[in-house]
Structure formats: structure tokens, C-alpha cells
Amino acid sequence: MNKDLVAIFEHMEREKGIKREIVIQAIESALLAAARKTIREDANISATINSRTGDIEVSCEKEIVEDVEFPAKEISLAVAQELDPDCEVGQYLDVPIKLANFGRIAAQTARQVISQSIRGAERDVIHEEFRHRVNELISGVVKRFVRGANLMVDLGKVEAILPMRNYPKTESYQIGNRVFALLLEVHDLDNGGAEVVLTRSHPEFVKQLFIQEVPELEDQTVTIVNIVRDAGYRTKLTVESNNPKVDPVGACVGVRGSRVKNIIRELNNEKIDIIPYSPDPVTLLQNILSPLEIRKIAVNEEEKVIAIVIEDADFPAVIGKRGMNARLTSELVGYELEVQRMSEYNKALEIQRMQLAESDDPALDLPPKLEGVNKLVIQALEQAGYDTLKKLLLATVDEIAEAGHISIEIAYTILDQASNSKK
């Protein structure tokens, strides 16, 4: 009994999911290829392996003749009778071939055939087991590192690869660590095998974590409309409810944040922003930036650009580290986002007002037309000497606020009106 070969059969069945018949067929094909290399391609060779005992038999069918002319196909009567004393000329005899007689090239050919067949069988197992599980969460154990920081993850019957680019830079692993990831794809390799690719950095990974934690997402009472991510740092997702009685944000957060905390823990404390969805980009942008206030906003539909003005103190929060917040917000809204500080915006307006005031337009010498402004404020401005459009445009916002006994915000509104009336 060939115990080693039987052990290989059992290992391939148990660990790789490859049926014993497939392994036997691969080895038999390899033996035939090796035998033909040793004897001749046109020899009638057969190879059989006993699946229970592992015994191997390789033989070549030859015709019994008086004088041998074709050694690959014929055998002399004298030699044949050593194998079977009752044989006669004209009969055919299966002549055993010793594996030890295979040359180096033949053995190498056998190894190549076996490797190719096994890879093909593994590919079929992988496709059968995992092709329908794409975008499914899966767990495994880090088995080894390949080509730097790429991880080979043991999933049981097969190994999957978690490329370095597919997990956040903030994460590190050791051999034996358990990994929870998303099955990203199954693709064929050039060598005839197949590879299961995992990811922890794809936005879909976070989406599937939410679906796992939030029953309302599972039954589609709540849906994730869009999700963007800077893996390891921040994720932003928009949600909407198909039931007016269900708060989509509250459902995803959970009681006292229980649901989202589990996801944050799995993501190693990555920040997560859950935002109520709106089909209107301006409303959606306001939802994303809440509670920060957008002071000015302009939308260019043709170029898909939204320009906003915010308070100076809010600028760092809107932009984020390395521009991450602004970039993710832009991806979520679907418009390029241009953000300007209020001080820069006001400075630009001040320069614009001065340029307007220096023109030769006779309308500059007329009283300004200020719609919606309290008459008492207008009278106070006139009494302070701001009785023409030109004088008003040349004034600073602080001077207008002091003269009219008004707030800075109202002063800016008055100056905006003055600028627009000139246009």
C-alpha cells in the first residue's frame, strides 16, 4: 500500500476540497506524459492508480513477435514468456514500466502536468465556493506575508489574498491574527489557478458592516444612498427611509450609538458621518456641514461646481486634514466644492466696491437704492454723510455699522445691495 499517496488524497479532499478522483486523474495523466517522454509518443501506454491503496501501475501494450523491429510497440516471444509463460506470437501483452526508469525530463514533465491539473482543480473549487459570495463579509486567519505587506488569509479550503492596498495604512497584522474583510472579487491567474481577493478599505466593506448591524437596512426600510471613504480616517454615508415613521440616521446610529459603535470598533475608531439624504445638492450639502452655517452659496450647474463662503473659524473643519473632509463631501454631493473664508470673501468684495466707486458712472452721485432696509437706518446713513452711492461704496463695513447703528451682518447686506445696484 502506498500510504504517502493515500495521505495526499485525503489531504487534498479535506483541506482543499478537491475530490480524490480529480487528483488520481491528474497523476495518471502525468504518468502517461512522463512514460511517453521515456518511451515514444506513439506507444500504447496506460496508467492506473488504486484509489483505496494508492498502488500505481504503468504499462505499455506490446505485440508479441519473433523479431522486434519497433521496441515501443513490440516485444520478443522470449521476453514475453518471462512475464507470461502461456503467451504466443501475435498476442498483445501489457508490459509493466518501472517508474524508476523515467528520466529527468520525464519526471519534470510529470510534475508540470500534476501542478497544472491541481491548479485547475483548485480554481474550480474556488469558483464554486466563492464566486457567488462577492461583496460578502468573510473571516479568516493571517497565514503568511507575501511580496511585502500583502497578507495570505486562510479561509479554510482555500487561501485568499488581502493586498496591502486593500487595507488601511492605520492597520497592521501579525501571523495568526483573525481578519474580518469583504470578498471583493475572484479572478483567474495566468498560471491556470484562481485567487480570492479581500478588502477592508473599500466603501462596500463599511456598507456591509452597517447592513449586518442594522435590521432596517437588511429589510430595506432604510437604504444607504451613497457612501464615500478615506479608509482608516473617515467615512461619510447618506441614508434615507422608505417609511416616514423611521428616522434613517437614528436607525443606523442605534440606541445610545450601540450600532454604529460596533462598526467603529471594527474599523479601529475610524470616524463615521451619517447624513440624511436629499436629492437637492444644496440641501444635501447643508445636511453634511450641519451644524456649521453656510454664509454664501453659489451653484454652477453647467460645470458641476458649488462655491460656498463660511466663517473663518469653521474653515478647518470643512476642509479637514489634507483636504479630506472637502474631498469626501464633494464626492458625496457629486459637485466640485470650492470653499472660501468669510474674511477673504469680504476682502474681495471690498476691492470690487472700490473699483465700482472709481468709475465715471453718473449714477454714483445719486442716493443709493436700498430695498428692505429700515428708513431710520437710511436716514442715519444720510446724516452721517453717506448720501450718495459712491460715498457708500467707499465706506468700510465698520463705518457703515457705526453710522447706521446696525450690526456688521446688516452692514454687509447694505454694501452688497449697493454693489448690485451699480451692476
Predicted confidence band of residue 1 (pLDDT cuts 50, 70, 90): very low
The CA R_g of the chain, rounded to the nearest whole Å, is 40
307 lies in which domain range? 278-344
Asked if 333 and 284 count as a contact pair (C-beta separation under 8 A), the reply is: yes
> Do 222 and 175 share a domain, yes or no?
no
Angle of helix 375-383 relative to helix 408-422, nearest 10 degrees, comes to 80
Specify which of 31-40, 64-73, 220-229 reaches the highest per-range mean pLDDT: 220-229
Mean pLDDT of 219-239: 95
Q: Which of 367, 368, 375, 379 is nearest to 403 (CA)?
A: 379
What would the 3-class secondary structure string for 219-266 be?
Answer: CCCEEEEEEEEECCCEEEEEEEECCCCCCHHHHHHCHHHHHHHHHHHH
Q: What is the CATH number of the domain that holds 99?
A: 3.30.1480.10
| H-helix or E-strand spanning residue 139 | strand 137-146
- Coil, strand or helix at 334: coil
> Do 105 and 212 share a domain, yes or no?
no
> Do 196 and 237 share a domain, yes or no?
no
| 322 against 37, higher pLDDT | 322
Residue 352 inside a domain? The answer is no
Q: Is the dihedral of CA 276, 325, 313, 260 positive or negative?
A: positive
> What is the model's pLDDT at position 343?
87
| 334 against 159, higher pLDDT | 334
Mean pLDDT of 43-49: 76
- Coil, strand or helix at 272: strand
Mean pLDDT of 42-56: 73
Please say which residue of 344, 371, 396 terminates a domain.
Answer: 344
Asked if 158 and 125 count as a contact pair (C-beta separation under 8 A), the reply is: yes
Amino acid at 132: H
| 207 against 97, higher pLDDT | 207
Mean pLDDT of 99-121: 57
pTM (whole model) above 0.75: no
